[in-house]
Amino acid sequence: MEYGISTKCLYGNGTEETVDRSGAISFPIYQTATFAHRGVGESTGYDYSRLQNPTREQLEKVVAALESGVDALAFSSGMAAITALMELFHPGDHIITDCDLYGGSIRLFDNVSKKNGILFSSVDCAKCAPEEFEKLVGENTKAIFIETPTNPMMNVIDIEKLAEISKRHGLLLIVDNTFMSPYFQNPLKLGADVVVHSGTKYLGGHNDTIAGFLVTSTNELSEKLRFLIKTVGSGLAPFDSWLILRGIKTLALRMERGEKNAEKLVSWLCQEKKVTKVCYPGLVDHPGHEVCKKQSRGFGCMVTFEVESKELAHKILKDVRLIRFAESLGGVETLITYPITQTHADVPKEVLAANGVTDRILRLSVGIEDVEDLIKELEQVFHE
């Protein structure tokens, strides 16, 4: 039978056989680099942990189930996952990307992928009409790469519409689903071909390890990526795999609590006179509100807002205590980030300006604290 998303967080599909026969409720950590063979041609199914490890394999089965994918591959970081993904392409291949992406993805594309001969075009996928978008598609175009909601400006892109275009032109549609997590959004069900996750974020959920995932819609893509992960050697280590497995068990509870807190914080921010803009898909006046309702089961826990001056932004970052001024997102703790000097520090200034990422923009990853405590702290740092 098909399990619900919360049950899948604990058991995956519940039908997969595992190597462990002990009955352990917590899947064991197979902390080994290599595996012994009974004889020539008599492998246990595991040879060397760079190729595969039982703990990583169990994690991959759970993540594949959460995203309704054919396969999931666990990497040492989200950027390691995207780097391996780029090895599917050849010099001269062309990829269309959204203009508002995580700074690390832009840095990889601009400084590594372009060096390797891959060509990129950038467009605002949330606003671009389909006929205008299709003008970017050439004979050498191979893929579309997006995030939705985007980082940091929270633009919402219609995945189904882009999937229609990608299928019509034989392109791969790649969706970074980190901000929503599989709990709120499943791009493969909407027509995407590959889903990317920084497992460091909501899947792990505790800011205590780093991981990344690629989830595929076909066996063909899975086989190509399996060859790459064993060749480039960026698979996730056993102990980190176990930490992410443990984190996923509470994904549903954390996402529900974080979203409720985010909604209350957004209400407070919208009433604060020193806040000049709030970007959150749950707001009915957000341009992507209806699209988000259509393709997601919630609006998530990420909030971006703009304050009246750079000085106020710096004051907030200096004065917060309960809310931590730190990079990353998706943990149980509420974090505030300054994109222009942190996550997007290497993005060209003209790109930041075009996307509205200024020195007055702050990004909140809302955690599971008592939301009244978060609001009290913001009231204090805004007005003391």
Q: Which two tokens stand for residue 343?
A: 């996550």
Q: Among 292, 41, 49, which Cα is nearest to 184's?
A: 292
Q: What CA–CA distance (Å, rounded) separates 123 from 141?
A: 14
Q: What CA–CA distance (Å, rounded) separates 225 from 196?
A: 13
Q: What CA–CA distance (Å, rounded) separates 190 from 202?
A: 21
Contacts for 132-137: CB closer than 8 Å, 24+ residues apart: 133/96, 133/162, 133/165, 134/165, 134/169, 136/96, 137/96, 137/165, 137/169, 137/171
If you search the block for the tokens 């190597």, which residue do you land on? 19
Rg of the chain taking only CA atoms, in angstroms: 21
Phi and psi at residue 162, in whole multiples of 5°? -70, -35
The residues near 111 (Cβ < 8 Å, ≥ 6 apart) are none
Helix axes 371-383, 251-271, angle to 10 degrees: 30
Could you tell me if 121 and 136 are in contact, meaning their C-beta atoms sit under 8 angstroms apart? yes
Q: What CA–CA distance (Å, rounded) separates 144 from 162?
A: 8
Catalytic residues: 50, 102, 176, 201
The residues near 275 (Cβ < 8 Å, ≥ 6 apart) are 269, 305, 306, 307, 308
Q: What CA–CA distance (Å, rounded) separates 301 from 282?
A: 10
Q: Residue 332 class from Cβ within 10 Å (0-12 exposed, 13-18 middle, 19+ buried)?
A: middle
